[in-house]
Structure 1
Amino acid sequence: MNDLYFKPLKSEKLQSGGYYGQFLIDKLKLGQGITIGNQLRRVLLGEIGGTAISAVRIVGIRHEFATIPGVREDILEILLNLKGIVIKSDTTEIKFGRLKVQGPLVLTADLIDLPSGIQIVNPNHYIATISTSINLELEFKIEHGIGYKLASQLFNDENKNFLQIDSIFMPVQKVNFKIENLYDADNSISERLILEIWTNGSIEPIEALKKACQITINCFNSLLKTQNTKETTKKTSSNRKLTIEPYTNIAIEELQLSVRSYNCLKKAKINTVGDLLQYSPDQLQELKNFGRKSADEVFSTLKNKLNIILKKDATNN
C-alpha cells in the first residue's frame, strides 16, 4: 500500500466563528475506511483538549440564585452566557481573567482582561446588560480540560468564593465521514474516506486531525512496549513465590478451620501452611476422612485469608 496522507478538500471559517474542514484519504484497502473513520471520529470528539471558563467570582454575590441591582440578567442567566465564550489558549495551566466596568453598559466578552497566551474567539459574545451606573467586578477562572465537566464536579474549598460553570472543553463540535468504493482497471476494489470536521474556532480542523492521529499513535505505541508473554509469566511466577514464602511457617491453627478439617490435617502431620502447600488438591482429598467438603474449606480459606491458590501440580517432597 502507498503511504497514506490527508488531502484537504475544503476549509472555511463559519459565520459563528468556528471552522469547517473536509479531508480525503484514498487508496485504502477494503474495510479500512470504517476502521479509520470510526477511530478518528471518536478521538476527535472525545480526546482533544480545550480551554473554557470553569468558574466566576462576582464581587458581592455568594450564590447563583442572587440578582444584581441594575443588571437585567440574573446570575443564572449570566453563568449560562459565560458558558458560550470560546477561548483559545497556548497553555494548559490555570489562568484568571478579570473584568471591572461601570454602567450603563452592554457587557460583551471583549471587555474581559485576559493574561498573555489567552484569546477569546467570539469577542462580541453577549454576557449581560447594565442599566444603571453601578460598578461591576468579575474574576474568571480559565482551565484546560477534556470533554465536559458539570459544575457539581468542580467544587472545592480553595474556590469557595467562585460560582461554578458547566465547562465544555471539547473544541471539535461535530465529525462526519463517508466511505466510497473505487474500482480500478482490474476491477479490484479500494476505498476512500471523506472526513468532515467542525470546530468551535479555538482550533483549526487540520490541527485537530493531526492531534487525533498523534493520540492514536501514542496509544498503539504503548501497546507495542508491553512485555512479551514469556517475560510476564516468569515475573508472575517469581512474584507468587515471594508472596507465598512469608506464610509458610504459619501454624494451621491460624486458619481457623472446622474441627473435622483441622483434625484430619493434624493426623497427616500437616502442622503449618508450608506443609499444606506440599499437597495438591487431589492429594488432600486422599487423606483419611478428608472429603471434598473439607478440601473446599481449605482452598477457600487459603485464598481468602492469604491469597494462596493450591495448584494441581503440587507434589510431596
Structure 2
Amino acid sequence: MIMSNLYIKCLKSEKIESGARYGQFLINSLRPGQGITVGNLLRRVLLSDIGGTTITAVRIAGVRDEFSIIPGVREDVLEILLNLKGTVFQSKSTDTQFGRLKVKGPAVITASSIQGPSDLEIVNPNHYIATISTNGVLEIEFKFEYGTGYKLAGQTFCDKSEDFLQMDAIFMPIQKVDFKIENVYDNTNYVTERLFIDIWTNGSISPEDAISSASEFIIDLFNSLLQNKFTQDANDLETANPVVPLNPHTNIAIEELQLSVRAYNCLKRAQINTIGDLLEYSPEKLQELKNFGRKSADEVFATLKNKLGIVLK
C-alpha cells in the first residue's frame, strides 16, 4: 500500500537554448524499493508513449529525388531535409495536416517561413533551413503527422502521383529522462525514499505536462487491465487453445545419436534428419527402408532408449 502522504513537487522548470525545456521533480514519501519501480516506469513511458507532431514528408517544386540540387540554393535537398528535421512543432490535433513554404531570394530561410494550420505552432521559429543566393524561388509543401516513437522512411516517395518525399520522423517530444533515489531517515530511524526525476523536452511540451501525461497513461493502462480481468475461465482457455505437448527431443539431429555408418546412411537417404522424423516411423516401417536390416533397427532402438529414454513400440 502506497503511503497516504505521497506527493510530487516541481523543483525546477526552465527554458534552455533552441526553445527546449528542462524540469526537475521530487516524489516524496515512497516506501523502500518503490523509488526504482516508479522511476523506471515513468522514464519508460515518457520516452516511448508520449506523442508529438512532426514533418513526415515534403514536396519541393522542381525536385525529383533527395539527391537533387536546387539552382540558387546553397544547400542540396539532403541538407534541407536534415535541417527540417530540427524544426519543432506543437499541435493539439492528431490528424494529418499540410503546410507550405514559398520564399523568393535572395533570403535566409528559417522555420518561421513555414505556413501551417492555425493550431500548429512552431516552437523554434529561428531554426535555420536554407539560404537562397539568387532571385530564385524555393517552394516546399509539408505533410505533418502525429505519432509516438519514430518512423523510418519506408520508401522514397509516399505516392508517385503525389511526389511527396518521405522523411525519417522523430515524434518523441521527450529528449532525455534521468532519475535518482535518496533514502530519508526520521527520528525513529524509519526509512522512506524520495525520487528525483529530471526531464528534458524539445519544447513542444512542458516537463510538467509530460509527467502528468505519463501518469495518466499509466493509470489508464492499469485501469484497462482491471476492467478486463478474468474475461475467460481457465477451462474456456484450455478449450479454445488446446495445448499440444511437444517432445523435447523433436528437433535433435540424428547425428547426435552417433549411429554406425550403415544405419546413418539409410536414415539420411530416407530423408530422416531429426528425432522427430524418426519417431514418425513404426519399427515395422523402419525395417522396410532399403538396406536397413534387423541389425540396424536394433541399433537404433537401443540408442534411442539408452541416450534419450525413448522406447519405440
Question: Which band: TM-score by shorter chain?
Answer: 0.7 to 0.9
Within 5 A, what are the aligned runs for 1:225-240?
A: 225-228=227-230, 231-239=232-240
Within 5 A, what are the aligned runs for 1:224-303?
A: 224-228=226-230, 231-239=232-240, 293=312
User: Cα gap change, 1:260/1:80 in structure 2, threshold over 3 Å: closer, same or farther?
Assistant: same
User: Cα gap change, 1:157/1:215 in structure 2, threshold over 3 Å: closer, same or farther?
Assistant: same
In the TM superposition, residue 239 of structure 1 has moved relative to its aligned partner by: 3.8
Structure 2 partner of 1:124: 126
Within 5 A, what are the aligned runs for 1:1-317?
A: 1-152=3-154, 156-157=158-159, 161-228=163-230, 231-239=232-240, 293=312
Question: How far apart, CA to CA, are the structure 1 residues paired with 2:83 and 2:7?
Answer: 40
User: Cα gap change, 1:5/1:153 in structure 2, threshold over 3 Å: closer, same or farther?
Assistant: farther
User: Cα gap change, 1:176/1:48 in structure 2, threshold over 3 Å: closer, same or farther?
Assistant: same
Gapped runs of 5+ residues in structure 2? 243-279, 285-309
Question: How far apart, CA to CA, are the structure 2 residues paired with 1:130 and 1:136?
Answer: 8
Q: Secondary structure at the match of 2:17?
A: coil
TM-score by length of 1: 0.73
CA-to-aligned-CA distance 1:262-295 (integer Å, 9 cap, x gap): xxxxxxxxxxxxxxxxxxxxxxxxxxxxx9647x
Of the structure 1 ranges 22-31 and 8-17, higher mean CA displacement relative to structure 2 is found in 8-17
Question: How far apart, CA to CA, are the structure 1 residues paired with 2:160 and 2:312?
Answer: 58
Question: How far apart, CA to CA, are the structure 1 residues paired with 2:210 and 2:161?
Answer: 32
> What is the identity, as a one-letter code, of the residue corresponding to 1:146?
T
TM-score by length of 2: 0.74
Q: Secondary structure at the match of 2:74?
A: coil
Structure 1 partner of 2:252: none
Structure 2 partner of 1:277: none
Q: Given that residues 158 and 164 in structure 2 are in contact (C-alpha distance below 8 angstroms), is that contact kept between their aligned partners in structure 1?
A: no
Structure 1 partner of 2:259: none
> What is the identity, as a one-letter code, of the residue corresponding to 1:167?
A
Question: How far apart, CA to CA, are the structure 2 residues paired with 1:211 and 1:223?
Answer: 19
Question: How far apart, CA to CA, are the structure 2 residues paired with 1:61 and 1:240?
Answer: 55
> What is the identity, as a one-letter code, of the residue corresponding to 2:186?
D
User: Cα gap change, 1:137/1:221 in structure 2, threshold over 3 Å: closer, same or farther?
Assistant: same
User: Cα gap change, 1:182/1:72 in structure 2, threshold over 3 Å: closer, same or farther?
Assistant: same
> What is the identity, as a one-letter code, of the residue corresponding to 1:25?
I
> What is the identity, as a one-letter code, of the residue corresponding to 2:84?
L
Q: Secondary structure at the match of 1:223?
A: helix
CA-to-aligned-CA distance 1:117-161 (integer Å, 9 cap, x gap): 101000011110001111221101111111111223685437751
In the TM superposition, residue 16 of structure 1 has moved relative to its aligned partner by: 2.0
In the TM superposition, residue 202 of structure 1 has moved relative to its aligned partner by: 0.2
Q: Given that residues 24 and 199 in structure 2 are in contact (C-alpha distance below 8 angstroms), is that contact kept between their aligned partners in structure 1?
A: yes
In the TM superposition, residue 225 of structure 1 has moved relative to its aligned partner by: 2.7
In the TM superposition, residue 73 of structure 1 has moved relative to its aligned partner by: 0.4
Q: Secondary structure at the match of 1:38?
A: helix
Gapped runs of 5+ residues in structure 1? 242-256, 262-290, 295-317
Question: How far apart, CA to CA, are the structure 1 residues paired with 2:109 and 2:126?
Answer: 9
Count of residue correspondences: 250
In the TM superposition, residue 238 of structure 1 has moved relative to its aligned partner by: 5.0
